[in-house]
Amino acid sequence: MSRQLYLLRHAHAAPGGALGDLYRPLDRIGRDQARHLGAALADAGIEWVLTSPAARTRQTVAELGLDAPVEVVPALYGGGCSVLIDRVRQLDDDLHRVLVSGHNPDIAAAVQRLLDPDSSDPVAVDLIRTHFPTATCCQLEFDQPWSELSSASLRRSLRSKAPRPAL
């Protein structure tokens, strides 16, 4: 059975404040974005979620409304693309559909590093390389065990279509 890895850049967050970057919450736009993505992912059957400890990533996951255990992984906050991929490679092989909620540039870099350009739509791959806004989620698919993950096909890329509130 194939495995599916969902790499999600957190939804839109409020500007930094006195509390610091780690504690920045989602704003109203971000909450709407995350709920929109949650509806699109409702039938994905995600079994496990890894998330950075940042407030905005944890809130994004909560707003998705997935029925899956959530593991907070401190190393996903600023740890880099390699740390993210290494953590994914440690997943239990009983899992087949996992979502990672994190930050850029790490999420976009992980997608780019793992994408097999020969088995993915070149237009979609080019768009991912040049534009990876908040609330973007890429579904990657591969057949190896997690520990052997080195490349994957892009199955789909989701960007929140949540309407922007009127100013």
Residue 51 pLDDT level (bands cut at 50, 70, 90): very high
- Total domain count, the chain: 1
Whichever domain contains 149, its CATH number is 3.40.50.1240
DSSP string, the chain: --EEEEEEE---BPPP-TT-GGGPPB-HHHHHHHHHHHHHHTTS---EEEE-SSHHHHHHHHHHT--S-EEE-GGGTT--HHHHHHHHTTS-TT--EEEEEE-TTHHHHHHHHHB-GGGS-HHHHHHHHH---TTEEEEEEESS-GGG---BEEEEEEE--PPPPP-
Q: Is 82 a domain residue?
A: yes
Q: Is 66 a domain residue?
A: yes
Task: For residue range 8-26, list pLDDT tens digits in order.
Answer: 999 999 987 777 999 999 9
Q: Is 142 a domain residue?
A: yes
pTM over 0.85: yes
Task: For residue range 78-120, list pLDDT tens digits in order.
Answer: 999 999 999 999 999 999 999 999 999 999 999 999 998 777 6
Residue numbers of the domain that contains 91: 3-159
Q: Is 166 a domain residue?
A: no
Q: Is 7 a domain residue?
A: yes
Q: Is 165 a domain residue?
A: no
Residue 43 pLDDT level (bands cut at 50, 70, 90): very high
Q: Is 117 a domain residue?
A: yes
Q: Is 164 a domain residue?
A: no
Task: For residue range 130-157, list pLDDT tens digits in order.
Answer: 888 999 999 999 999 999 999 999 888 8
